[in-house]
Amino acid sequence: MQLILLRHGPAELRRTGLPDEHRALTRKGLVKTKKACAGLAKLIFADQSEQLSAGDVQLWSSPLLRARETADMLANQLNLSVEEHSFAASGDTDDLIHALSGVSDAMTIIISGHEPLLSEWSGDLCGCPLPFKKASAAAISYSKIKPESSKLLWFLQPGYLRKMRNWESK
């Protein structure tokens, strides 16, 4: 199974009167994240000529607004729906592993989430706690048999993902 971790884009700053779960992407964050999601979509599915189906890919998100907005942008690029999972906000590795245990090995699971949770998951799963900037992504070859022996496939910061939206596959 391929597991792709995607950090949400740039969001509103914390402030009094704005609950954390209601912090949205900024106007600039929306633009940058949409471009990063376009690049991520091209990268993941460059070799697939057919339209994706729910049988190939699932897109999961934290229920917090900024992660959900990021997931929705990618969902629009890929014509997928988004499932919200509370563990993507709490960062519970055991809940993540439990959720992945019910998924086919042939699937690609994309999770839109938060820092420092994504760094912790990458550290727990493949021994490499990655420095996820906003709108960056990593792909992990996930092993259900021995989750901690999963392998990092790639890790890209948002500037590279934005550039990839113009990438031509051969």
Domain-located, residue 95: yes
Residue-wise pLDDT for 126-139, tens only, equals 999 999 999 999 99
CATH code of the domain containing 102 = 3.40.50.1240
How many domains does the chain fold into? 1
The tokens for 43 are 């990268």
Domain-located, residue 148: yes
Q: For residue 147, give every residue at least 6 positions away whose Cβ sits within 8 Å of its Cβ, in sequence order, or none.
A: 97, 100, 124, 125
Domain-located, residue 14: no
Domain-located, residue 31: yes
Task: Tell me how far apart the alpha carbons of residues 115 and 133 are, in angstroms, rounded to a whole number.
Answer: 8
Domain-located, residue 62: yes
Residue 148: per-residue pLDDT: 85
Q: Contact 81/61 with Cβ under 8 angstroms?
A: no
Short-list 160, 58, 158, 70, CA closest to 114: 70
Residue 83: per-residue pLDDT: 97
Q: Which helix (H) or strand (E) holds 89?
A: helix 87-90
> Residue 20 — pLDDT band, cuts 50, 70, 90?
confident
Domain-located, residue 141: yes
> Domain limits at 38?
2-9+25-45+55-164
